[in-house]
Amino acid sequence: MALRNDGTVVAWGSNVDGETTVPTGLSEVNKIAAGFFHTLALKTDGTVVAWGDNQFGQAVTPADLVGISSIAAGGYHIVALKNDGKLVAWGENTYGETTVPAGLTGVIAIAAGRLYTVALKNDGTVVAWGDNTYDATTVPPGLSGVTAVAAGGDHTVALKTDGTVVAWGA
């Protein structure tokens, strides 16, 4: 997938479940994300458009989903960060990847791995949940000062304020 400067999206490659068939008329997009067989677009008005595989409901955007500032696509799940720092997640939940921890607030960034989810809080700490088969959700003890997070299939990476990178998982 690619996001063009004019706010439109292009996609190519495998299209097994319609994941590269961009919805007609989709415009005013400012962020994109792709899961295994589903695709997301975050529009400038804070709404999300999802398409492709819907085996776990990941291609159906919740009706009350508004005020979104960021999106992330996992294997078969989606997580969205609201403007108020709260999260909304949907899709596959076999390992609790869409069960947002109770009381989690102050989130400033998100990432999604194959079967897990990661949140960066405004205090520089990281919270992760879901499948931990390869220790992707086992945040290193004392990890702080984080400014960015990324998730791969089964591993997580954090960038710290001093420029160092910490990685864990497979």
Residue 33 has pLDDT above 80, yes or no: yes
Calpha distance 156→109 (Å, rounded): 13
**pTM of the prediction?**
0.95
In 10 A of CB 25, how many CB atoms? 6
* pLDDT, mean of residues 135-140: 97
DSSP H or E segment with residue 126: strand 126-130
Number of residues assigned to the chain? 170
CB 131, CB 138: distance < 8 Å = no
Residue 39 structure tokens: 């695709």
pLDDT score of 21: 97
pLDDT digits (tens, 9 = 90+) for 46-89: 999 999 999 999 999 887 799 999 999 999 999 999 999 999 99
pLDDT score of 64: 78
Residue type, 11: A
Burial of 162 (0-12, 13-18, 19+ CB in 10 A): exposed
pLDDT digits (tens, 9 = 90+) for 88-136: 999 999 999 999 999 999 999 999 999 999 999 999 999 999 999 999 9
